[in-house]
Amino acid sequence: MCNGDSGTEEHRGWKSTRVYEVIGNHTRLVRFLGRDLWTAFPTLKKPYATVAGFLEEHYSAMYAPRGGSVGGRKSIGQLYLTAPYRPLIFQWALQLLSGLRFIHSKDAILGDLHKYTCWLQSLDSISILGFLDAVYMEPVHATRYTNDTWGSGYNLPFHPCLIPEKGTGPSGR
């Protein structure tokens, strides 16, 4: 597991595990069950459904073309959320805000929120998944871990062999 040949994707997975360990569980995060002993990737509670799958299945019922015209011409390509789905989408939005508030209160930033990083625990309960693109502060030695894509001067490599509890973090802290 602790080899120097691991790629960026593995580092993102390991970082995701560490963020779950640092911030803990919350009702709006996909439940973290622990670190996989072989890969060190996070083990998560299986979802009821994925948001991406739900949207794909219900897209035609959820969205309808906006009626009327724009500037004397019929509007093309403009869709609106249909009335039966509005309460559900508003409820999901409030639940996601609750999850983001929790994440930010733990000095972490999710990094990327979209339909692939949200799972449904039930039809009326949405949760945020993973922290592959997260930015967070390691509480033991106050090191900030970011991503290559952010181009930050604080961008430090993350590897499960850098175990903060044992003082093996960056700069030996």
Is 48 within 8 Å of 123 (Cβ atoms)? yes
Among residues 24, 55, 52, 39, the alpha carbon closest in space to that of 131 is found at 24
End-to-end CA separation in angstroms for the chain = 22
Concatenate the DSSP letters of all residues of 11-63 into one string: HHHHHHHHHHHHH---TTBPPEEEE-TTT-PEEEPPPSEEHHHHHHHHHHHHE
Instruction: Please report the pLDDT score of residue 1 as a whole number.
Output: 45
Place 143 in a pLDDT band, splitting at 50, 70 and 90: confident
pLDDT-based confidence at 152, cuts 50/70/90?
Answer: very low
Q: pTM of this prediction?
A: 0.74
Mean pLDDT over 47-74 rounds to 79
Pairing outcome for strands 69-70 and 42-44: unpaired
C-alpha–C-alpha distance, residues 122 and 103, integer Å: 21
- Mean pLDDT throughout 61-79? 65
> 98 or 15, which is more confident?
98
Residue 56, pLDDT above cutoff 80: yes
Tell me the C-alpha distance between 57 and 78, whole Å.
Answer: 20
The CA distance from 33 to 48, in Å, is 16
Could you read off the pLDDT of 7-50 as tens digits, one per residue? Answer: 667 888 888 999 999 999 999 999 999 999 999 999 999 989 99
Chain centre to alpha carbon of residue 124: 18
**Residues 145, 156 contacting (CB under 8 angstroms):** yes
Question: Cα angle at 152 between 146 and 157, to 5 degrees?
Answer: 45
Residue 141 has pLDDT above 90, yes or no: no
Half-sphere exposure of 102 (CA within 13 A, CB side): 19
Q: Which two tokens stand for residue 84?
A: 């039966």
Lowest mean pLDDT, pick from 23-37, 114-128, 144-158: 144-158
- Per-domain residue ranges for the chain? 8-172
